[in-house]
Structure 1
Amino acid sequence: MSPDVAENSPQSPVSPADSTWECFDVDLSDGVAHVRLNRPEAYNSMVPAFWTELPAIVEGLDAAGTTRVMVLSSTGKHFSAGMDLAVFTEGGLGGASGVSEQGRRNAGLWLMVQHLQRSFTALANARFPVLAAVQGGCIGGAVDMVAAADCRYGTEDSFVCIQEINIAMTADVGTLQRLGRLVPEGVAREWAYTGDRIPAGRVREVGFFNETFADHEALVAGVLEIARRIAAQSPLAIWGTKEAISYARDHSTADALHQMAGWQSGMFQPGDMMEAFTAKGEKRAPVFEGLPPLPGAR
């Protein structure tokens, strides 16, 4: 990564990297945010704190405007075992603790499920791409999480499992809504109906993983290298590209072209393009300004 990128990506004084998290470690370097799940002794299961920390980290990085790409990786034997039992047993899914009337208890659960969903939707809504690096098991809620990322990579010995069906539950935090757009619908249905462990080779074959790597060390190094290549591009152009791909996925081609025309009429400015051409002519890395902070960002 050229040091020129770092010069235009100053770390925010209230960056998530400056905070202590129960479930994550966060590093920022040259426009790349590396967010790691850090509870390996518990297979990085998703305790109640996880569901507030993840969106806080992602939204904090996005608000500052200096992050150009995020890598989501993990520690230990498995990427994540999914939802921790504490979320079920400590009132986390009750939603309306202390409420006895059934309708209100049901309403509390409805609100809680949406709270959990928003934790992963933060990845999809971020202005920067999110790259997920999966080692070992990616189980249950972890599949929901990586399905919300832009790209996914795995180790050769990793596997994916939609675990919810194995505990007589319907997956409810994004897998069933996103997976069928990432792999053939029949494949998504098979995985969701059977709860089988799907080995990395098959996961890559159907396109859920972009690529597989020999081991965890090679995985993280390889994904960080991809992240650096993305971070070297114009962050405004990358944001527009993510917006266009996401919009086109959920709309007709005609609507998506209309959206693109509107985006381009406001966001397409000659500055970054001229810098790209100038840098190429001068045989140097281009220097691009970061994204504007979001309103209200400190």
Structure 2
Amino acid sequence: MTDLTFDDLTTLNVTIDNHIAHIQLCRPDQLNSMIPEFWLELPAVVRKIDDHAAARVIVISSTGKHFSAGMDLSVFMQMGKDFSGEPARRAEKMRRSVLELQDSFNALESIRIPVLAALQGGVIGGAVDMVCAADSRYCTEDTFFTIKETELGMTADVGTLQRLPHLIPQGLIRELAYTGRNWSAQEAMAQGFVNQVYADQEAMLSAVMKIAAKIAMNSPMAVAGCKEMINYSRDHSVQDSLNYMATWQAGMFQMPDIQEAMAAQQQKRLPSYEALRDKRSMMSANKKA
């Protein structure tokens, strides 16, 4: 299903073609800073794509010189207005606000389909939180990453400090967090944070779209299983992960996609797989009943 509409978006442009959803941050004159609308639009868009099984892979890129300058000043100003009143209630509201912001990027990790981030220029503050939740990252030679929150007198709170230690060495994440220094594309690749560095955005997007197309050619069930298992194994022991894998296979290991893959290889053609089921179908059926 690719006839979804994404109208009235303030911060994003969305297109879907050949099972690939392309989400672009589209406020280049404002350095794609993350205004309040962004924190609502991003999770809504990726969950809509996933719920409708409208694509098999998502590519997130940006427009302009920088990928994103991170949290917009307006969000900080709104939070500042909340620092009044009885302390316990003020703190409880702050906690819920942070959890809501975290959920915007949790969506990238919890959906069934892979998310590829294509980055250029500055990836600053909240933008680092965001791309840490993607499955894979690619960037241009001029890209730099900054855990900017430290220099602003606060601790990064939307995912960087929780996800980045699983992606790069402990000593490096601590240095980057404590200092807030710029981290170059070349260093990020050497440490395994990004998969590849490209000369410019055009070359990067061309290459990332080819990777996305390769992912989209595979069984969406097999790819969804890979994402589920890799995420689970990051947070659990090897034995727990093996047990979960066995349970998953007990239900998800079925023959149609395997037979189609083997037939396509023998017949030297591209495989054709059924899409994942629309996640809304059960609720829709209950509503009709």
User: With structure 2 as the length reference, what TM-score do the two structures score?
Assistant: 0.95
CA contact (8 A) 2:220 2:273 kept: yes
Question: 1:120 offset after TM fit, Å?
Answer: 0.2
Instruction: Specify the alignment match of 2:76 in structure 1.
Output: 88
CA distance in 2, matches of 1:96, 1:263: 45
Percent identity of paired positions between Structure 1 and Structure 2: 49
CA contact (8 A) 2:52 2:280 kept: no
1:243 to 225, 228, 231: 228
CA distance in 1, matches of 2:80, 2:136: 33
1:173 to 130, 148, 158: 158
**Are residue 227 (structure 1) and residue 212 (structure 2) matched?**
yes
Instruction: Specify the alignment match of 1:191 in structure 2.
Output: 176
Structure 1: runs of 5 or more not aligned: 1-9
Instruction: Specify the alignment match of 1:53 in structure 2.
Output: 41
Instruction: Specify the alignment match of 2:25 in structure 1.
Output: 37
**Are residue 123 (structure 1) and residue 111 (structure 2) matched?**
no
Q: For the structure 1 residues 235 and 159, does the alpha-carbon distance in structure 2 shift closer, same or farther, using more than 3 Å as the test? A: same
CA distance in 1, matches of 2:54, 2:44: 16
Residue deviations 1:104-146, cap 9 Å, x none?
1111110000000000000000100000001000000000000
Structure 2: runs of 5 or more not aligned: 285-289
CA distance in 1, matches of 2:136, 2:81: 32
CA distance in 1, matches of 2:29, 2:6: 24
CA contact (8 A) 2:53 2:276 kept: yes
Residue deviations 1:166-199, cap 9 Å, x none?
1111000000000000011111111111111111
* Aligned-partner residue type, residue 66 of structure 1: A
2:269 to 266, 278, 284: 284
Instruction: Specify the alignment match of 1:145 in structure 2.
Output: 130
Instruction: Specify the alignment match of 1:253 in structure 2.
Output: 238
Secondary structure in 2 matching 1:61? helix
1:70 to 58, 64, 70: 58
Would you say how many aligned residue pairs link Structure 1 and Structure 2? 283
User: With structure 1 as the length reference, what TM-score do the two structures score?
Assistant: 0.92
Secondary structure in 2 matching 1:178? helix
* Aligned-partner residue type, residue 19 of structure 2: G
CA distance in 1, matches of 2:278, 2:91: 38
Question: 1:94 offset after TM fit, Å?
Answer: 5.6
RMSD: 1.4
